[in-house]
Chains A and B, each alone.
Chain A
């Protein structure tokens, strides 16, 4: 009987002891938040002709053409493609 109690006590001690060895998530998960402000318009919705001093041309409201214009302009930062 005593041996059983000692065994049960030991099993309980091991269980409690090992429970402290659990891996805890250490990466902070940021909450994204819920934007409460005014809605913003998309840049491709603006009128290209209203832009000053720009060479970019796109169709108003067309995201794909705006992205193509931005990509083309992005290449101006690549001097290897400009000089060759």
Chain B
């Protein structure tokens, strides 16, 4: 299971962030997903991408965890056991995406147990139980669903699901839309209208 974000389509609406927070009832101060924008305001060069845990095949968080609270499911989702987590923050330093989040509370910023994107797969509690929801959020995979962020994405910039499937979807999309005179914008993201050049020229005149 993987995420794939199409930077040509992402419009920085933060719908994925909102969907994630709503679906999993993520506490204040913790963002399992966020939208990163580069070249903000530069015409033609501004790109946004939605980032969360990438569920790495060779996850650095898993490697550095001193209490070995991480595991990978058969579907390739990296999850962790909050009952074991000691909130040390090693995974935060190891992760290249800043995925691990730590709820903070109190005047001294007391750091809680790590929280991160679960690919909406819950955790090692009984599936669809209250305990699982309280600790890890919604378990949509056990309901035959895919992550809320990807399914809610209005422009379908964010794809989530089986790696081969989303790669096929993205490949089909790229082949369909091709590459026009402008390498960014609506035409590149959504493809050109199916019009013959002659008809288009006639329509203009």
Interface residues of A (CB under 8 A from B): 30-43, 45-46, 48, 50-52, 54-58, 66-67, 69-71, 73-80
Contacts and interface: CB of A to CB of B under 8 A. Distances in A.
A73 B202 CA distance: 42
Given A48-B144, A58-B144, A36 B63 contact: no
User: Which of A32, A51, A74 has the most chain B CB within a 10 Å cutoff?
Assistant: A74
Contacts of B83: 37-38
B46 interface: no
Given A43-B121, A77-B151, A80-B176, A36 B143 contact: no
A70 B123 CA distance: 19
Contacts of A43: 75, 121, 127, 139, 141-142
Given A37-B81, A40-B71, A77-B159, A46 B62 contact: no
A74 B124 contact: no
B76 interface: no
B115 to A, nearest CB: 15
Interface stretch (B14-22, B162-170, B179-187): B162-170
A55 to B, nearest CB: 8
Nearest to A52: B143
A54 B70 CA distance: 29
A38 B81 contact: yes
Given A51-B143, A56-B145, A39 B63 contact: no
B162 to A, nearest CB: 6
B127 A73 contact: no
A30 B58 contact: yes
B151 A76 contact: yes
A31 B4 CA distance: 26
